[in-house]
Chain A
Amino acid sequence: MEKHITLPLTDKDIKELSSGDYVYLTGTVYTARDAAHKRMDEALAKNEPLPIEMKGAVIYYMGPSPAREGRPIGSAGPTTASRMDKYAPKLLDLGMSAMIGKGKRNPAVKEAIVRNGAVYFAAVGGAGALLSKAIVASEVVAYDDLGTEAIRKLEVKDFPVIVVIDSRGNDLYETAIEEYRSE
């Protein structure tokens, strides 16, 4: 099913999303990948505030290539989400509403998605040039010294994603593969 959603996601939006839905997102998304997650985790361990409001946040696991002049961003496709599995349950418990990445998640992340009523989207891996066209603005908001791994605030318009794990814990990576398996 194809859907257009304006961010932030409401609880109703999330409930109505099902594994396999093709969704176009419009609104604010934050980027964070390995190094930014590590730093946020260290901040939480020291009881320090996070640099962005996690409640309702959509986090895109992405580190862009540099922007050419006159463009908001360079190539901007998803990175492998499982590297953030160590940190994701904690951020989901703090209210993160969605993650955008690629690849499988571990059982602890799935449980945290269901527990908190969140969603895991995949963007198409390796389509960084195409996906950059759906990003209209980009600004570094934290950890500037991390270069491509800094936290960026993105404004996206009709950013194409697919629901992989919905709020009930259905996982498209498991169900879709079974459908086409002919071993």
Chain B
Amino acid sequence: MREISTEKITETISSLCIRANHYLAPDMKNAFCDAVAKERSELGKKILGQLEDNLKIAEEDMIPICQDTGMAVVFIKVGQEVHITGGSLEDAINEGVRKGYTEGFLRKSVVSDPIERKNTGDNTPAVIHYSIVPGDKLEITVAPKGFGSENMSRVFMLKPADGIEGVKNAVLTAVKDAGPNACPPMVVGVGIGGTFEKCAILAKKALTREAGSHSEIGWVKDLEEELLEKINKTGIGPGGLGGAVTAFAVNVLTYPTHIAGLPVAVNICCHVNRHVSAVL
């Protein structure tokens, strides 16, 4: 058994929260540069220029890229040979969020109850997705999620007969409805298959896959490319103010599903698509 202390986990989560909110992930940087060259609209180019300046200021002056520093979504893969010492893993994760959001001057955007809506004051709790995997490591991904784009995300419970055309329509419907609200250029995470909740988690996880990478499944790769092309023909453009660059990437993950169903989830993210990982 390899021992990992909760203290170490807390420190790691804290620094990942701060990093994700100030520095653009390298894959997003590449996606951004590719897009700038493709934009035709003058206003679109101007907005992309502002977003580039914004990223530079964020890094240099340590001002969060966006004021909505998100609800902290944490994916954690726990190696089954790992023994966590010093307390509860969940408490350690939330303590890391508390520390990162306080010390990093990040916005506290979480309310303790969806109806009574009192701010928790420290951005906890996180939304945590655990998985148990072979090995003796702990792999942590922090993906702070802003709600401008989260609010535009959707789950569609399609019928098997709807097929791949139904999937394409679902994604395009969600993207068009999102329009300027989701701070385009967007990254679109799609989950296909599983159950109602499984496809939503797949869509979220898809956002953490490197922008520009593709699925190893032939038809899924084709779907990713076709959807990106179709989304960029909607005309939504940077800031939703018209242009050729509406999305940087479409990432699709799939899972086996029931004979009666075809669940599709579309998780939309803004141009920053914050995600950062560490392995302990």
Q: Which residues of A contact B (CB under 8 A)?
A: 20, 22, 35, 62-68, 71, 74-77, 79-80, 82, 102-104, 122, 124-133, 146-149, 160, 162, 164, 172-173, 175-183
Contact = CB atoms under 8 A, between A and B. Distances in A.
A169 B272 CA distance: 32
B79 interface: no
Given A146-B119, A176-B237, A183-B235, 10 more contacts: A22-B43, A63-B109, A103-B240, A104-B181, A127-B50, A129-B57, A177-B240, A178-B235, A180-B243, A183-B233
A131 B63 CA distance: 11
Contact of B40 (A66, A122, A127, A180): A180
A52 to B, nearest CB: 21
A101 to B, nearest CB: 10
Contact of B235 (A149, A162, A179): A179
B30 interface: no
Contact of B65 (A75, A133, A182): A75
Interface string B57-87: 1100111111111000000000000000000
Interface of B: 40-41, 43-44, 46-47, 50-51, 53-55, 57-58, 61-69, 105-109, 117, 119, 121, 147-148, 151, 179-181, 183, 230, 233-237, 239-244, 270-272
A103 B270 CA distance: 13
Contact of B50 (A67, A124, A147, A149): A124
Contacts of B108: 147-148
A22 B236 CA distance: 18
B171 to A, nearest CB: 14
A126 B268 CA distance: 14
B240 A128 contact: no
Contact of A180 (B47, B105, B244): B244
Contacts, number: 171
A74 B183 contact: no
Contacts of B58: 75, 129
Can you list the 7 inter-chain pairs with the closest CB atoms, starting with the nearest?
A176-B242, A181-B235, A180-B235, A125-B183, A103-B181, A130-B54, A129-B63
Contact of A128 (B64, B105, B181): B64
Interface majority SS (helix, strand, loop, mixed), chain B: loop
Contacts of A130: 50, 53-54, 57
A104 B108 CA distance: 26
Given A79-B68, A124-B239, A173-B241, A147 B183 contact: no
Contacts of B65: 75, 126, 128-129
Contacts of A80: 147-148, 151, 181
A125 B50 CA distance: 10
Contact of A129 (B46, B61, B239): B61
Contacts of A182: 233, 235
Given A103-B240, A122-B241, A77 B50 contact: no
Nearest to A77: B67
Contacts of B43: 20, 22, 162, 176
Contacts of A164: 241
Contact of A66 (B57, B107, B119, B179): B107
Contacts of B66: 75, 77, 126-129
Contact of A74 (B63, B148, B233, B237): B63
B135 to A, nearest CB: 37
